Amino acid sequence: MPETIVTPYVPSYITVHLGAPDSNAENVTVSFPDYIKNVASSEIYPTWNEAAIIANIYAQISFALNRVYTAFYPSQGYDFDITSSTAYDQKFIRGRNIFSNIDQLVDGLFNSYIRRVGFIEPLAAKYCNGTTVTCNGLSQWGSEQLARQGYNSIDILKYYYGDNIEIVTNAPVREFAESYPGTPIRLGDTGDAVIAIQRSLNEISNNYPRIPKVAVDGIFGESTENAVKTLQSIFNLTPDGVVGLATWYKIVYLYVGIRRLAELNSRGQQLRGISFEYPNVVAIGDRGEKVTIAQFLLSVIAEFYDTVPFVEIDGIFGQSTQNAVKEFQRTFDLPVTGVITQSVWNAMYDVFVSVDNELTTIDYGTQLDNLLNGNSQNQGNNISYGDSDF
């Protein structure tokens, strides 16, 4: 029987355990670009030669994607993708400052990675500082020295990992149906990609009013170009009015994020006719309305607390729902049981109320309202994270 080849994807979000694997530490779920920006800012200096910074970023991306692709931690029963401990993985400091130049470089590279020629999986790219610690992989200080000698980032990577490596670029990002088309979209272009960009810009501009509204006509004219430039100036992207990979995925992340909030708000309005009173104990194996409500509460909380993971609202209390309950309990200093008792339900509801006010006051605009109210698929049915025009 032919082997099924699973194409590596880049996760749109990654869950990081803030300690050694067996430690009773929190998990945080962050976007994959933000994870890499944090790692790069935590591992190296922004003053280094750009070729060295890029080489290090490729190694960091590849290491993380190898963890995800091989399900290294989930296969051992853990509920996270990677840790923040340098004894096991890469340095990640929750909430830290990041560096502007690293921010821009990662936006353009986050879905590219290293692999061995003839192999599918991302390279488990090892690295170390190369001074106090040596290893069979990239030397961080060595990469800076090579860059100063004129090596480019690929030369640096081949120096440490061998000539039989290649860079995979523009890998698909999971949960985003439409990948970056591969070539920049710019003034004068027409077509479906332009329509998607224009529609998304209009939704984003509801909360970023400096971004002007544009006609959704599929024609990339000056007004669209100006809107793109304004978005780029807000989000630390090169303000050239061209939608390259970095701008494309910034637009996608923002649009999908706003749409997800709108769907939850819509779902909340549907549920307001139902009592939020504690039903009775809710635990793994349960199904039905009480599970749906619990999942809805957790989903809204997850939009605001990075320590609570996303959960699908499907009315089935499975492993992922149990994990979300545990992370909620850990976040709010409750006994970590994975079971929703009265005290847990009350805490979930109280936190939900505190963030729900934000949810109901966000401007989703007419377009998303019409989409959600007119789309029968969203009427009381499951909301899957990532459902979108992208």
CA-based torsion, 250, 96, 137, 80: positive or negative: negative
Rule CB under 8 A: is residue 207 a binding residue for other proteins?
yes
Question: Using CB under 8 A, which of the segments 57-65, 107-115, 132-140, 174-182 binds other proteins?
Answer: 132-140
Rule CB under 8 A: is residue 311 a binding residue for other proteins?
no
C-alpha distances (whole Å) from 201 to each of 197, 215, 254, 375 are 6, 10, 9, 21
Among 218, 298, 290, 287, which residue's Cα sits nearest to residue 264? Answer: 298
> Could you say which residues in the range 15-54 bind other proteins, by CB under 8 A?
31, 34, 42-48
Rule CB under 8 A: is residue 57 a binding residue for other proteins?
no
Rule CB under 8 A: is residue 334 a binding residue for other proteins?
no
DSSP state for residue 5 in the 8-state scheme: P
Specify the residue, 46 or 137, whose C-beta has the smaller distance to other proteins: 46
355/340 Cα distance (integer angstroms): 20
Strand bridging mode 165-168 / 113-116: antiparallel
The residue within the footprint of other proteins, chosen from 229, 260, 267, 326 (CB under 8 A), is 260
Taking the CA atoms of the chain, what radius of gyration do you get in angstroms?
22
Binding mask 145-184 for other proteins (x = CB under 8 A): ----------------------------------------
Q: How far is the CB of 357 from other proteins (least distance, A)?
A: 7
**Nearest 10 degrees: Cα torsion 219, 224, 225, 227:** -170
Specify the residue, 325 or 348, whose C-beta has the smaller distance to other proteins: 348
Among 163, 80, 70, 159, which residue's Cα sits nearest to residue 120? Answer: 70
Q: By rule CB under 8 A, what count of residues binds other proteins?
A: 54
Rule CB under 8 A: is residue 376 a binding residue for other proteins?
no
Specify the residue, 40 or 114, whose C-beta has the smaller distance to other proteins: 40
Rule CB under 8 A: is residue 11 a binding residue for other proteins?
no
Rule CB under 8 A: is residue 135 a binding residue for other proteins?
no
The answer for residues whose C-beta is within 8 angstroms of residue 236's C-beta and 6 or more apart is: 100, 103, 104, 107
Quickly count: other Cβ atoms within 10 Å of residue 77's Cβ. Answer: 7
Specify the residue, 147 or 214, whose C-beta has the smaller distance to other proteins: 147
Q: How far is the CB of 109 from other proteins (least distance, A)?
A: 18
Question: Using CB under 8 A, which of the segments 109-117, 184-192, 201-209, 287-295 binds other proteins?
Answer: 201-209
Distance of CA 145 to the CA centre of its chain: 33
107: left (phi over 0), alpha (psi -120 to 50) or beta: alpha
Rule CB under 8 A: is residue 335 a binding residue for other proteins?
no
Rule CB under 8 A: is residue 81 a binding residue for other proteins?
no
Rule CB under 8 A: is residue 208 a binding residue for other proteins?
yes
Distance of CA 157 to the CA centre of its chain: 26
Residue with structure tokens 């082997």? 3
Residue with structure tokens 């504690």? 278
For other proteins, the binding residues (CB under 8 A) are 31, 34, 42-48, 86, 91, 93-101, 103, 129, 131-133, 140-141, 144, 207-210, 234-236, 253-254, 257-258, 260-261, 303-306, 350-351, 353-355, 357-359, 362
